Amino acid sequence: MSRADAGEPHEILEAMQAVMGTLPGKDRRVPLDVRVEEELPLPGVVRRKLSFAVEPGDRVPAYLFLPEVVKTELPGMLCLHQTTAIGKSEPAGLGGNPNLHYALELAKEGMITLAPDYPGYGDYKTDAYALGYVSTTMKGIWNHRCALDLLESLPEVDVGRLGSIGHSLGGHNTLFVAAFDERVRVAVTSCGFTSFSKYMGGDLSGWSHDGYMPRIAGRYGKDPAQMPFDFPDILTVIAPRAVFVNAPVSDANFEISGVKDCLKIVRPLYEKAQAGSFLAAVHPDCEHDFPATARAAAYAFIRKVLAD
């Protein structure tokens, strides 16, 4: 499939599901049944440790942050963690890399933020395959859509101003959930993707293990040329909704020229929609990280998009 003419958004979503498995239908939904385990006041914000139901017999642990004083409905941001054993605790500011504490930082900037665990991380040890999924990626998409439901359910959140932000694992999961859920008005992806052909020299082993999409190995031979979708296609589905990309020049995981290739393919869609300012990218001089300058630019981008 040519990346430049991959087809209509529904065709791209079908191609993604050929790899990830079918997106569950409404019959899998259950009441969120939010259970707050702990509430802790912090400088300027309140942090709640909670869990919420996403399907029968499965609950996702998460941290929710609210500004200390809420006078009006505020934007809600889904904050997805990188590949780290502590999971949600890193964006919540409880360890790991200080550059990745974006759930805490965005709450201090006046947003409602929700940081859930991805399967296998933090306090969340569920097995997606035992639940009938063919990829953990699709289980993540389902969970993250339910997380958006949770944000929508909060009286403090303006349901028309939702977004997602993530680094690395969280960076591509942000794009995945945005592709399948139009409620995501702004997606911030840090070190989250490159073209499949330029990922590790075209070796897609890193995308094909049980934490991602095993069909990439079993059905597509870990070969970029056989893949029915690539990241320009995902960006095509999201366009012209707002996307901010942090792609450092020395990221060994996601090679920068492949990122630029993807952006070059999708940019005309934004220009055609007169939404050129809704696709932005920064390229800090660092490795696989989300430094302060890039985060500041990302946060300003979020504020601008969700200002109304």
The reported pLDDT for the residue numbered 6 is 56
Q: Structure pTM?
A: 0.97
pLDDT tens-place string over residues 211-261: 999 999 999 999 999 999 999 999 999 999 999 999 999 999 999 999 999
pLDDT tens-place string over residues 147-202: 999 999 999 999 999 999 999 999 999 999 999 999 999 999 999 999 999 999 99
The reported pLDDT for the residue numbered 70 is 87
Q: How far is CA 160 from CA 148, 192, 278, in A?
A: 11, 25, 17
Q: Where are the alpha helices (DSSP H) in 154-274?
A: 169-180, 215-218, 231-238, 256-272
pLDDT tens-place string over residues 60-97: 999 999 998 888 999 999 999 999 999 999 999 999 99
Half-sphere exposure of 242 (CA within 13 A, CB side): 23
pLDDT tens-place string over residues 111-152: 999 999 999 999 999 999 999 999 999 999 999 999 999 999
